[in-house]
Amino acid sequence: MRAYSFSTPGSSGVILLVDNRDSFTFNLAGAFRSAGAEVVVVRNSIAAGEALYRATRLGASIMLSPGPGAPCDAGCCIELVRQAKGLVPVIGSCLGPRRSSPRRAGR
């Protein structure tokens, strides 16, 4: 089995996974846990500032889950990407990156 490292700059092997109300979120969480990461799941209804505070306090990277519905249903994700820029590594899955692009403004 291939070993994966979750130690990126600004990361301690912890992932703050933002749940956009998609069942695949928990598949992602399970896969990351199986690979050795600690995963903290929060709903996208959390305030962006609170999510960023939790991520920085934990030394976590942020992952945006896929989610059903339109990008305008992104919850905190768009603002979280803006606030995290240059502070915390952020990655998304499926619609996560597209819906959170500040350039697209959630469209």
User: Does a structural domain hold residue 29?
Assistant: yes
Domains of the chain: total? 1
* Six token digits for residue 71: 């990008």
Comparing 34 with 104, the larger pLDDT belongs to: 34
pTM (2 decimals)?
A: 0.78
User: Does a structural domain hold residue 60?
Assistant: yes
Number of CB atoms found within 10 A of residue 14's CB: 18
User: Does a structural domain hold residue 6?
Assistant: no
Estimate the share of the chain in helix, then strand, then coil, as percent rounded to the nearest 5: 35, 20, 45
Give the model confidence (pLDDT) of 25-81 as tens digits: 999 999 999 988 999 999 999 999 999 999 999 999 999 998 756 777 889 998 999
Comparing 33 with 100, the larger pLDDT belongs to: 33
User: Does a structural domain hold residue 5?
Assistant: no
Distance of CA 11 to the CA centre of its chain: 13
- pLDDT above 90 (res 7): no
pLDDT for res 81: 92
CATH assignment at residue 26 = 3.40.50.880
Comparing 16 with 93, the larger pLDDT belongs to: 16
User: Does a structural domain hold residue 9?
Assistant: no
Owning domain of residue 24: 14-99
| Burial of 64 (C-beta count, 10 Å sphere; 0-12/13-18/19+) | buried
The Cα 102–Cα 92 span in angstroms is 13
